[in-house]
Homo-oligomer: A and B are copies of this chain.
Amino acid sequence: MDIKHQLDIIKRGAVEIFSEEELVRKLELAQKENRPLRIKAGFDPTAPDIHLGHTVLLRKLRQFQDLGHEVYFLIGDFTARIGDPSGKSQIRKTLTEEEILENAKTYKKQVSKILDLDKAKVVFNSDWFNKMSVAEILSLTMRVTVSQMLARQDFKDRLEQNQDVSLMEFMYPLLQGYDSVVLKSDIELGGTDQIFNLLVGRDLQKDFHQEPQVVLTMPLLEGTDGVNKMSKSLGNYISINDTAEDMFGKIMSISDELMFKYYTLLTDEDLVLVKNMHPKEAKVILARIIIAQYYSIDVAKKAEEGFRRVFASKEIPEDIPVFKLTKALAVVDLIVDGGLAKSKNEARRLINHGAVDFSGNRISDDKYIIEVTGVLKVGSRRFLKIEKI
């Protein structure tokens, strides 16, 4: 594949590249010498539930794999025990070795839905850090100055606000940078919040007489609210473990503007074509594509049908009350709590009479558990939109 075309794929959705000239040179040289580039990305095995926000980077890695390059999937099991608070105001709690290994396992299982882990090299940085001597680690600290570290925005902000910055946090970028030296990475990918640490890697590689890695940053994907970074703790996330129905409902709930961003970062679709589609239809297709990535095209179609049956049909009024589901609930409880019946006995009677359906499916069992997004209908006029938090 010609460089121009490779570059188009690599640049899609990327925020910054340090530098594009170096990237082109590396791509050309790799092609000429018929060898793959070494692509590095580091992952903290601290959040085992992968959501679409995480997949932005993973998909980019997959693109590099598809272009024939070699991906180093670095599990920062050593650094996770330290914790890097880039963009966060709190020091992360440190994990035990056991927790980290358990998380790493779950992580890899989920990642395999996106990356070809058979082709990727999965590496753990405890492999080299556990073997290093104190003298070696100290010699790393000689290679950066305090002023350099103080230039990092979140350090600067926190110090100005008289918040603690542990000296350990100054060590983190160094360790991450040293990973690049060990892996001899040609390119490192990271979120925009990682830019400082990624550039330290370039500096360290130069110190160790290596060609510095190209740094490529990807945006932090906004969650379904369209405002905040997608995050489990904010409840605005779409997990890749969500049911197809949940995924569909959540994706249909996002704004048109955010939809376009999701298309850019979460699909390979031609963006010119997307722009010419009707937003509502484009959103349905987006949902279909994403679900197909994690389930199958058939499951995606089924979820779409269910959604269309409930929402797209004219049966359901526009403004129906919303019930925020914080945990799985039995349908009888949900009917009572949602105000669709006065008592559990009345709810049971309605179910027995075949007057209750959930997202288009009649419910006949009063012990039926509702735990996903959908629409609960009682009789012909009472509706409740169930939103899972």
Stretch at the interface among A12-20, A38-46, A137-145, A255-263: A137-145
Measured in the bound complex, the distance between the Cα atoms of B166 and A134 in whole Å is 17
Contact with B along A122-138 (1 / 0, CB 8 A): 00000001101111111
Q: Would you call B81 and A135 a contact (CB within 8 A)?
A: yes
Q: Interface size bucket, A side? A: 20 to 34
Q: A129, A134, A143, A174: which has the most chain B beta carbons within 10 Å?
A: A134
Per the bound structure, the CA–CA distance linking A135 and B155 in Å amounts to 23
Does A311 count as interface, using CB distance less than 8 angstroms? no
Q: Mark A26-64, 1 if CB is under 8 A from B, else 0.
A: 000000000000000000000000000000000000000
A78 CB contacts on chain B under 8 angstroms = 134-135
- Give per-residue flags for A196-225: 1 if the beta carbon is below 8 A from chain B beta carbons, else 0: 000000000000000000000000000000
Q: Is A147 an interface residue (CB 8 A)?
A: yes
Are A146 and B167 in contact, with the CB atoms below 8 A? yes
Given contacts A137-B134, A137-B137, contact A168 B142 (CB under 8 A): yes
B141 touches A168 (CB 8 A): yes
Instruction: Point out the residues of chain B lying under 8 angstroms from A168, CB to CB.
Output: 138-139, 141-142
Asked if residues B165 and A146 are in contact (CB atoms below 8 Å), the reply is yes
* B residues in contact with A147, CB < 8 Å: 159, 162, 164-165
Neighbouring B residues of A167 by C-beta, 8 Å: 141-146, 149, 170, 174
- In the complex, A50 Cα to B137 Cα: how many Å? 32
Residue A10 interfacial (CB < 8 Å): no
- 3 closest Cβ contacts across the A-B interface? A141-B168, A141-B167, A146-B165
